Amino acid sequence: MMEAPVHIGLIGPLPPPPGGMANQTLQLNELLLRDGHRVELVQMNAPYSPAWAGRVPVLRAGVRLLPYLWRLWRVAGKVQLLHVMANSGWSWHLFAAPAIWIARLRGCPVVVNYRGGEADAFLQRAADWVRPSLRRSAALLVPSGFLEAVFRRHGFGSTVVPNVINLERFGAADARATPSAGRAPSVLVARHLEPIYDNQTALRAFALLAARYPAAQLVIAGSGPEADMLTALAEHLGISQAVRFTGRIDNAAMAALYREADIMLNPSLVDNMPNSVLEALAGGVAVVSTDVGGVPYLVEHRRSALLVPPQNPQAMADAMFLLLGEPDLKERLRQAGLQLADQYTWAQVRPRLLQVYRSVIEKANKAGGVSATGGSKA
């Protein structure tokens, strides 16, 4: 750890709704505080005040954005650095970019922590808008080698600091070698109900599985705009009695679902470093995932997971058949997943992150940007 506590402005979304970046922001805040650092948390998705403003399309942007900018201005003036959770699209333009420019005005260095599997398309589409802001950050962090390669192609260097998995919450409950022995297969999908996660393919793959294993059960844990369509598709496929949609769910309930699952499906069309895959590995659940984006950087086919092409229900079903028909393979994947998850604990990630903080603060101090205790130098 660093010799002295760091005073950090942490900028990001928070649950609800739960999601990869929101959960990582919340968890990072807790871990830094637990280690004795000072954290000023600025929430990108703070509740609308008044609540009715959230129902007015134009008004809601201003109602959320103006208090956010004021809070950024105040925090940037008293911390040693800002750590900004960033993503593609409007999230970048409305929340990440303003944080960078306000910090620059306040003489506070910024660490941009970029996430999301759509970075390449976003950078190609909006490079002229993104480049001026990103070049004014003191450091660019990405959670995977996949995103490191994407940013390198666009002329930006970055440092890989992986996501953190809470093994106390998501770790395997026991050392059972064959979780599905003696009971019907239990399959889990843990993605938002949005087009890029292609839950349709998971439902169609499960329908093929249910034809061979009639007692199999599928749980889809998440919420989103496709909920009604996916419910109707389950009815159409004749599997509605075997499928449970949980809706929005918190971390504790999510951990319980991993403990009950035999197989976790990740059917996404675009991905970076999905927390749901890491959480499943940590819970000792065999993973079948599409081989898109950063997933092959995270897991290796037939060593720590089974990878299949996107939008291919038959290939996904065949992978489930393989796992259920070859318990030795399933157990090897499970054990490899448990070992892999150990690389993403706070004890492993902390030194990388604090080294970035140390370097950024030292450079800012030499340049006369911030004082030793935070805030711009007069």
Among 8, 13, 16, 68, which Cα is nearest to 38's?
A: 8
pLDDT of residue 277: 96
Beta bridge partners of 14: none
Give the pLDDT score at 171.
79
Angstrom distance (rounded) from CA 137 to CA 134: 5
Rounded to the nearest 5 degrees, what angle is found at the Cα of 258, between the Cα atoms of 252 and 261?
145
The residue extents of the domains of the chain are 7-164+345-367, 168-342
Burial (Cβ within 10 Å: 0-12, 13-18, ≥19) of residue 351: exposed
Asked whether the beta carbons of 170 and 283 are under 8 A apart, the reply is yes
- Give domain 7-164+345-367's CATH architecture: 3-Layer(aba) Sandwich (3.40)
Domain 168-342, what fold? Rossmann fold (3.40.50)
Would you give the DSSP letter of residue 117?
Answer: T
- Measured from the Cβ of residue 47, the count of other Cβ atoms closer than 10 Å reads 10
Looking at residue 182, what is its pLDDT? 60
Amino acid at 61: A
Under-70 pLDDT residues of the chain: 1-3, 48, 50, 53-54, 56, 58-61, 172-182, 369-378
Tens of pLDDT, residues 315-356? 999 999 999 999 999 999 999 999 999 999 999 999 999 999
**How far is residue 305's CA from residue 336's CA, in Å, rounded to a whole number?**
9
Sheet of strand 159-160: strand arrangement: 38-43, 7-12, 81-86, 110-114, 139-142, 159-160
Q: How do 110-114 and 81-86 pair as beta strands?
A: parallel
> Per residue in 186-225, pLDDT tens?
999 999 999 999 999 999 999 999 999 999 999 999 999 9
CB-CB contact of 199 with 169 (8 Å): no
What is the token pair recorded at 168?
A: 């106390």
The confidence score (pLDDT) of residue 114 equals: 96
Q: With contact defined as beta carbons under 8 Å apart, do 68 and 358 qualify?
A: no
* Sequence-distant (≥ 6) Cβ neighbours of residue 194 within 8 angstroms: 224, 225, 226
Q: What is the pLDDT of residue 2?
A: 44
